[in-house]
Amino acid sequence: MLKQEREFIVNELLSSKFLKDIAAKNVHNEAKDPEESDRYRKEGNALYALSGHSAVIHEKILTRYTQSLAFAPANSLQMALAYSNRSALFYHCGKYVDCMLDIERAMRYEPLCIKIKKKLIDRKVMCMKYFDGEIIKRRTGVETIRSIKSHNFVPDREDERAIVIHKVVAVLNVVTVTLVLCCCWCIIDVARCYKTARARALRPRRRSPEFRRHIVL
């Protein structure tokens, strides 16, 4: 009984003209279109060619190249060019990991000419040089502590030992300065007491017949 009722409800829904009209209005059939892909890519290139770039311009360029990818047919020249151009944008913005990923995607497609492939290889080499330079800087200690923390760099044992020694030396310097100041104050107090005692000793005295003792004048 329940199975028959369920099948009846499903058949009614499938044959409902109202639901078919809603589905037809909300579903958009956008097929791959090489011309649209080229158009979005060229719009992105025009924005990229502007002299002054900002975060808003970068976002617009990224949107155009991504739209070009969305309309590009699979394994086509349009898709390879879109990935290639987007990798240039990522390199320009300093996003070297994303740049290398798009380079790898663009290199998968055969329609790319030798000239574009050479540009992609050169761009990938530049990204790799950046990462090599970062590693060298970390090893030689050229980077500041702040930049090391921003890259989540874990110091070596020698670096940790140097940091501990530096802290110990700083504490010893503070203790030394404190002891020197204390000694100076003690010397000043001793000198002051000696001066007072000497001044009292040098004061003139006279003998008091009443109390039979010397009175300091």
Go through the domains of the chain in sequence order and give each one's CATH number.
29-136 (1.25.40.10)
Q: pTM score, two decimals?
A: 0.50
pLDDT in tens, the chain (217 residues): 566 666 666 566 566 665 555 555 554 445 789 999 999 999 999 999 988 888 899 999 999 999 999 999 988 889 999 999 999 999 999 999 999 999 999 988 876 778 888 899 999 999 988 877 665 555 555 444 455 445 444 545 555 566 666 666 666 666 676 666 666 666 766 566 655 655 565 555 555 555 455 444 4
Q: Using a CB cutoff of 8 Å and minimum separation of 24, what contacts does 66-75 make?
A: 67/40, 68/37, 68/38, 68/39, 68/40, 68/41, 68/44, 69/37, 70/37, 71/30, 71/32, 71/33, 71/34, 71/36, 71/37, 71/40, 72/32, 72/34, 72/37, 73/32, 73/34, 73/37, 74/32, 75/109
- Give yes or no for a contact between 137 and 143, defined as CB atoms under 8 angstroms apart: yes
